[in-house]
Amino acid sequence: MSTPDFNLLVTLDVLLAEGNVARAARRLRLSPSAMSRALARLRETTGDPLLVRAGRGLVPTPRAQELRDRVAQVVQDAEAVLRPVKELDPKQLVRTFTLRTSDGFVENFGPALIARVSNEAPGVRLRFAQKLDKESVGLREGMVDLETGVIGDVTGPEVRTRALFRDHFIGVVRAGHPLSREPISMQRYCTGLHILFSRQGKDRGPMDEALKSFGLERKIVTVVGGFAAAIALARASDLIATVPERHTGNLRAGMFNFALPFPTKDFTVSMQWHPRMDADPAHRWLRGCIHDICQEAHTAVIPQAEVVVE
């Protein structure tokens, strides 16, 4: 079975609206002979004469009268599909976005983001999912609309990214902790009891590698899977947590924060999405909201400490 020529629908719509071959030809900028050939093709395709002569004019057949409104609607729908998307009105948007975020993002940036989204787009709901790895399968399969975190080796090469902010690690202990009373050297840092953050449950992390280059080692007494858990333990004990500064600003309220007494690398936190969402106006609006919130949410920057070796 041959595929029908859908261009004939536009011709049929104009012919049924005008009821005249010459006028229809002018509307479509065709010659009368070309329009007559198109009418002949339509008659052959539909198996109906569609327009028949009555005196000096043409009148529609019952089949043509039946098709007039249906064809007009089909043509309008097709034009709407092919027309560029209208400017988004967030107030009219009704949609749920799933965000897979790294640990601490919701606690630190979530309140401001939810407030902005609720104000600009009351019909939008944000669903936050915990990010347990850096795989981009959820983005690829459409289960996740957007992710935040540090771009890793397993992130799909097709994934779009935009940097949100730079971050670095700091130390945090409860208020009144012995470390808060004197300058913190690497030796004093290593003497304390530490909480290690590791999604994979490893027994060493980047801080341990950094200390190893100075011939030092810290004592890790517990391993947790998130920054929020590490900070909660440090708040209620004498344990030391080492966490990203900007990512955990709200979580550390009322605690003693200190710059690490040894050099560590900064890292970039980005948002990531699949290319098919790149031009979607609603998704683009949400990306703008997240970027603005992360730029506005400045915490008190803790200066990097000088390396002190006792």
- Section 268-278 average pLDDT: 92
Looking at the DSSP bridge assignments, the partners of residue 125 are: 96
- The CATH fold assigned to 169-266 is D-Maltodextrin-Binding Protein; domain 2 (3.40.190)
On the question of pLDDT at 303 being above 60, the answer is no
Looking at the DSSP bridge assignments, the partners of residue 259 are: 170
Q: Which CATH class, in words, describes the domain spanning 92-167+268-296? A: alpha beta
Same fold for the pair 7-82 and 169-266: no
Task: Report residue 58 as tokens.
Answer: 């043409």
Q: What is the pLDDT of residue 153?
A: 62
Q: Where are the alpha helices (DSSP H) in 178-299?
A: 186-191, 206-212, 227-235, 281-296
**Residue, of 203 and 121, whose pLDDT is higher:** 121
Cα separation, 90 vs 84, whole angstroms: 17
Global pTM value: 0.69
On the question of pLDDT at 119 being above 90, the answer is yes
Write out the E strands in 63-203: 95-101, 124-130, 146-149, 160-167, 169-173, 193-197
Give percent of the chain above pLDDT 90. 48
Q: Which CATH class, in words, describes the domain spanning 7-82? A: mainly alpha
- Section 41-52 average pLDDT: 89
List the domain boundaries for the chain. 7-82, 92-167+268-296, 169-266
Model confidence over 217-235: pLDDT tens digits?
A: 999 999 998 899 999 999 9
